[in-house]
Structure 1
Amino acid sequence: MNEEKASSRYRWIGLGIGLSIGTIAYFFGVLETVKFIMALIILRVIIKKPTYGMILYILSIPFVSDVNTLLIGIVVIASYCIDFIRTDSFKFKFTPANFFIFLFAIIIAINTFLSITPKGSLRDFAIHLVSIGIVFVLIHSKKSKKEIYLLSVVFTLTAVIVSIYGFYQFFHGVPMGSGWIDVSQNPDIKIRVFATFENPNLLAEYLIMVLPISIGLILYSKNKFTKICFSIGALIIFVCDLLTYSRGSWIGFAFSIIVFILLTDFKKLALFIPVGIGSLFLMPDSVLNRISTIGSLQDSSNFYRFNVWNMAIDILKDYWFSGIGVGYIAFRKISPFYIKTMSPYHTHNTYLQIAIELGIVGVIVFLLLVLFIFKMGINSIINGEDKFIKISTASYIASLCAILVHGMAEHVFFNPKIILVFWLIVGMNLSIYRVYKEV
């Protein structure tokens, strides 16, 4: 009798599902119905295994719209929270950086609602909120070396796919936006690739955050085949970064490699310096000419940045304590009163921009957060014995160094995709630290 009731219940459930799918197909079409069914299946898998959601999140950032990426991020956070409740496994996990992440999030919230344009600041508030939520679940979910390795591989694989698309643009041609290059200073450069991003500098910011991770995978790999695969992947990402012709990213990457070597094997630094200098002779003239214009005020891009910085200082003088509010919309609203000859979206300097948006307290908290992440990482490298933890820590610290150095010439908290990846790197640094403490 019970079997008959169960059979009857399943028939009714099946009938209900069939009617629901039929109704959706009738009103929205077959393609949208298929998308809906796939979304439900993916959602079911993510809720069952939140790590798969994190993989999807990393994969989606370069390819999916900003809004959809944020939605995926929200689903990932929700899946981890459901998992915490279902397994009763949530325990607050302290790291020395937790306080500063929490404080920075509060400062962002305050400077959203006290912004000169609260509505305009909501965009960046939402992006940071989701990003810091991802950091929260990365810290508090149970992580293993295997899972850290898997996420690092996904980071690298995604960047390789993006880079291959960049190669396609380079060989097939792509329109170059006005202001992307000073033709008088760089006559040999005809194309700057940007792949799935809006401009070459954004692509470069993304690539230099992933490149040290791919190099770390090379060093950790235990057999020749995986070493070769990761080496090819790292080379593809590196060459694509060269094709962006982003000088700031080149400096950032070079600095990150120095940091990586210092953290893994100080003796190799002596070898790196002559190898690095020697490699310049293998670079094409277009790259060498681009390098030669670093810091030159004859280059229109550099001249523009210096002018913006000088004028933006006046904004900081008036709003050094309170800040103007989070995001580029607040900056665009106030900047015409100070910068009358240009119409920038930001100051092209992350630290100056944070100080203007969040005030002096905001930029100090941000720098303290970075400092504590570095301190934690160095501590785990010095005191730890596990090779994987040491290499992973070095690669993710180097990743953070790359984008922070690039941030001296660009505002890395402008584009949603870069913001999301930046906080992912922060979260991975803290996750690796948690694994080190639990080993």
Structure 2
Amino acid sequence: MIILENSLLGRLLLPLWYLLCGWYQGSGLRVLLRGISALWTRWFHGSALMCLLVREGVLPRAWRDGFFCRLGETLLNLPAALLHWVYRKGKPLFDHSFFSQLAFAMGEQTPSAIGWLMLVIMVIPYEQWDNRYSLIGFALMFLLFLAGGMRSRALRLDLKSVGPYPVIFAGAVVLSWVVSYSSILSQRFLFFHITCMLCVIVTVSAVERTGDLVRLAGFASFAMFCTSAYGVIQRIQGVEINYSYVDMSVNEGMPGRVYSVFENPNAFGEVLVMLLPLAVALVIASRSRWGKLAALCAAGTGVIALGMTYNRASWIGGVAAAGVFVFLWNRKLIPGLLLLGICALPVLPDTIFNRILTIFNLKDTSTSSRFPLYAAALEMIKTRPIRGAGLGTDVVRLAIKDMNLYHGAAPFVHAHNLYLQIWLETGLIGLLSYLAAMISALKAAAKACKLRCPQEVRLITIGAAAAVAGILVDCLADYLWNYPRVMVVFWFLFAILLSGVKLARRAAQRGEMGGAHL
């Protein structure tokens, strides 16, 4: 605050801000908004929706102490248990070995290594990117975690915190490869999913302290700042209009869409929707002035870059994410958020405002061209509703071509809808388990936000939950996993959400135990 007050901008704007705050404190608008907030809060706390959000499902509740969870953890941790047995047998040798001690110390810093890996994944330009980097990286994270677990029995793969539905979805993914229309075409996509499975299980298992969670959110926010700043530089330098991304007949005057290092502006917009709420959470949660300023710079640059992508689905997803964030953080601010959104519309740049107006314009070819895609996808689902066509977009395209189900002008790439594409690839079991995993995680986050836990854990969990909710809305109009590294970012975000829930529950349990001893 002192930095802002001493700056030229602060000296110009702060007196105006203080004047507006003074007027607001004694205004009828404040009384009206506080009344609406109080009414909303009383209604919501007694509503069926609130009960649905906080009630834990039967399967997740039974999973933590169930036979299958214990069996799965035992099998997954068998290599670590064997390594720990070897360590105990040769403890003097390992304790006096420099390289052994280095490996153990590095293994205990797996969360930091994951943060660096995700930074690399998110900033390498598309032209230099290879999807094998993600698989190799998380395989190394798995081995690093095993190295740490060789000495410490506390470092074990935590299937309990992952929950049953992601495990069922992982099984559905493997099964869809087995029964695929073409298992050879599906094999490459199986490795993409294995990368994401490793990302989730290792990240959730490695995060044991509040600092680990804050560090991961910080790395993600820094990566977003780097890609967003590069996107802003692209806009300054000028971006050539790609007519396959925009219908200029209804978007007259719109400049080229910024894509940063992701080749596709839609993919870039989706990454921003997933990472922006984490940066906002750090703005609020950071205890240092410089930490708040850094997070604010990341969030501000990300918002600017999101506007420059001209990705309508991501804009809607971003609004949904903002609504969920405020809803979980402080529901009294919801009327103010709505008022702010309405007031912001007149000051939007003309190109962005006009782009918003085309969302429901069926004359826009980027909108109308999706209806033949949806029709072909639904016909394919009717043909193989339970098992799906098989894993990956390649095999789906082949099946639809062989059955002559698509009759659009543009080539069929994917269904332009994540949920339809998951159903196409993994069948009904895959779709239902995926939806259950997302809903269960969001419900767990909503409940965890009410627990007594460190402020950083609460806010990062809120940010991750808001980001997941926002991208799920975004995915109604696009296929998020068309780019495998964007798919990795999504599951990394999901892992942060589960990690936040885990830490919040542990903090609440420690508080209850401390209260019981007193």
Query: Distance in 2 between the 1:234 and 1:92 partners?
Result: 33
Q: Is the 1:46–1:52 contact (alpha carbons within 8 Å) kept by the matching residues of 2?
A: no
Scaled by the length of structure 1, the TM-score of the pair is 0.87
Partner of 2:132: 67
Are 2:476 and 1:416 aligned? no
Q: What letter is aligned with 1:262?
A: F
| Cα drift, residue 387 of structure 1 | 2.2
Tell me the SS of whatever aligns to 1:346. coil
Partner of 1:176: 241
Structure 2 unaligned blocks of 5 or more? 1-101, 508-518
Worse overlay, 284-293 or 407-416: 407-416
Q: 1:402 to 1:423 in 2, by over 3 A?
A: same
Give per-residue Cα distances to partners, 1:217-244, cap 9 Å, x unaligned. 1111234443233222201001001100
Q: What letter is aligned with 1:49?
A: Q
Q: Give the counterpart of 2:493 among 417, 425, 432.
A: 425
Give per-residue Cα distances to partners, 1:137-196, cap 9 Å, x unaligned. 122225211111111111001110001111111111233333111001111112101011
Q: Is the 1:97–1:372 contact (alpha carbons within 8 Å) kept by the matching residues of 2?
A: no
Query: Distance in 2 between the 1:222 and 1:90 partners?
Result: 29
Query: Distance in 2 between the 1:288 and 1:157 partners?
Result: 29
Q: Is the 2:225–2:297 contact (alpha carbons within 8 Å) kept by the matching residues of 1?
A: no
Query: Distance in 2 between the 1:212 and 1:142 partners?
Result: 20
Q: Is the 1:156–1:233 contact (alpha carbons within 8 Å) kept by the matching residues of 2?
A: yes
Partner of 2:110: 50
Partner of 1:4: none
Partner of 1:216: 281
Are 2:344 and 1:276 aligned? no
| Cα drift, residue 258 of structure 1 | 0.5
Query: Distance in 2 between the 1:405 and 1:371 partners?
Result: 13
Scaled by the length of structure 2, the TM-score of the pair is 0.74
Q: Give the counterpart of 1:311 among 376, 392, 395.
A: 376
Partner of 2:209: 144
Query: Distance in 1 between the 2:290 and 2:107 partners?
Result: 34
- Which runs of structure 2 are paired with 1:89-238 in the superposition (5 Å)? 89-91=154-156, 93=158, 95=160, 97-238=162-303
Query: Distance in 2 between the 1:323 and 1:126 partners?
Result: 18
Identical-residue share of aligned pairs (%): 24
Query: Distance in 1 between the 2:288 and 2:356 partners?
Result: 36
Worse overlay, 93-102 or 186-195: 93-102
Give per-residue Cα distances to partners, 1:395-439, cap 9 Å, x unaligned. 000010111111000011221011101110111111111111222
Aligned residue pair count: 398
Q: What letter is aligned with 2:476?
A: M
Are 2:406 and 1:339 aligned? yes
Query: Distance in 2 between the 1:393 and 1:162 partners?
Result: 23
Give per-residue Cα distances to partners, 1:255-307, cap 9 Å, x unaligned. 01000001010010010001111111121100000000012111110001122
Q: Is the 1:97–1:373 contact (alpha carbons within 8 Å) kept by the matching residues of 2?
A: no
Query: Distance in 2 between the 1:416 and 1:432 partners?
Result: 24
Partner of 1:37: none
Query: Distance in 1 between the 2:303 and 2:242 partners?
Result: 23
Partner of 2:47: none
Q: What letter is aligned with 2:470?
A: A
Q: Is the 2:106–2:144 contact (alpha carbons within 8 Å) kept by the matching residues of 1?
A: yes
Q: What letter is aligned with 2:266?
A: N
Partner of 2:424: 356
- Which runs of structure 2 are paired with 1:358-397 in the superposition (5 Å)? 358-397=426-465
Q: 1:391 to 1:52 in 2, by over 3 A?
A: closer
Query: Distance in 1 between the 2:253 and 2:295 partners?
Result: 31
- Which runs of structure 2 are paired with 1:250-329 in the superposition (5 Å)? 250-329=315-394
Query: Distance in 2 between the 1:433 and 1:94 partners?
Result: 14
Query: Distance in 2 between the 1:134 and 1:374 partners?
Result: 19
Q: What letter is aligned with 1:113?
A: V
Give per-residue Cα distances to partners, 1:199-223, cap 9 Å, x unaligned. 1000001111000000111111234
Partner of 2:147: 82
Query: Distance in 2 between the 1:260 and 1:52 partners?
Result: 26
Q: What letter is aligned with 1:317?
A: K
User: What is the root-mean-square deviation in Å for CA atoms of aligned residues?
Assistant: 1.9
Q: Is the 1:96–1:372 contact (alpha carbons within 8 Å) kept by the matching residues of 2?
A: no
Query: Distance in 1 between the 2:377 and 2:387 partners?
Result: 15
Partner of 1:330: 395
Tell me the SS of whatever aligns to 1:375. helix
Give per-residue Cα distances to partners, 1:307-354, cap 9 Å, x unaligned. 211222111111111100111111121222210334221000001111
Q: What letter is aligned with 1:432?
A: G
Tell me the SS of whatever aligns to 2:260. coil
Worse overlay, 107-116 or 69-78: 69-78
Tell me the SS of whatever aligns to 1:267. helix
Query: Distance in 1 between the 2:290 and 2:284 partners?
Result: 13
Query: Distance in 2 between the 1:147 and 1:345 partners?
Result: 39
Query: Distance in 2 between the 1:153 and 1:51 partners?
Result: 12
| Cα drift, residue 197 of structure 1 | 0.4
Query: Distance in 2 between the 1:169 and 1:95 partners?
Result: 44
Q: What letter is aligned with 1:147?
A: D
Give per-residue Cα distances to partners, 1:38-68, cap 9 Å, x unaligned. xxxx999855732332022111112342222
Query: Distance in 2 between the 1:148 and 1:237 partners?
Result: 21
- Which runs of structure 2 are paired with 1:395-414 in the superposition (5 Å)? 395-414=463-482
